[in-house]
Structure 1
């Protein structure tokens, strides 16, 4: 399955640069955690302070609920997320208590065939 998610960054040039630097090579524990929980591909794009993530998952392994449980029990993920949160802020449309927010697909070229 493909997920499209959005999140904002703190509006500070140095923090944005630091965030991008942290993603040049993510921690091996974070990478391994993503793969072991069914994430098969992930890309993050930025426009100004807005981030857009595309995440492809293996439906036989991945579920948002299982991923949340795995995140909660992994100290490396907790440390990574705490660090990332120093750079991130919720979008104006993000529900309280969440970070990355799912986008609603409104167009697909495939549907126009």
Structure 2
């Protein structure tokens, strides 16, 4: 199963980080459904300080272009993304408004 890894920073504010974590303990069902419908079989997000790391395992139907189009057309996903942007910030060196950045695999055992 193909795996993709991404990183993103949260705003370095303990209150905002706590709110972000609370939302992710109870992700809206419409968001979970959209993730699964896109062909994402497994997703995990980890945090260290204000840095996030996301692992996605996808099936053969998954396509980034299709997922982006589906998200754009889904008002609930747009609402979630707008809400999450309250807590997130782009990594240093990325264009304004860019969120999750793909990571390159350096090692595998």
TM-score normalised to structure 1 length? 0.92
Shift, 1:94, TM fit: 3.0
Does residue 86 in structure 1 map to residue 83 in structure 2? no
* Alpha-carbon distance between aligned partners in 2 of 1:87 and 1:100, rounded to the nearest angstrom: 13
- Aligned residue pair count: 108
User: Residue 106 of structure 1 aligns with which residue?
Assistant: 106
The equivalent residue for 2:71 is: 71
For 2:108 and 2:93, locate their aligned partners in 1 and report how far apart those are by CA, in whole Å.
23
Give the superposed CA RMSD: 0.9
Taking a change above 3 Å as real, the CA distance of residues 105 and 37 of structure 1, as seen in their structure-2 partners, is same
The Cα shift of 1:10 comes to 0.4
Partner of 1:11: 12
1:15-43 Cα deviation digits (max 9, x unpaired): 00000000001000000000011010000
For residues 31-68 of structure 1, the C-alpha deviation after alignment (integer angstroms, 9 at most, x for no partner) is: 00000110100000000000000000012x11100000
Give ranges in structure 2 of 5+ residues lacking alignment.
none
Give 1:96 shift.
4.2
Please give the alpha-carbon distance, in whole angstroms, between the structure 2 residues aligned to 1:91 and 1:39: 24
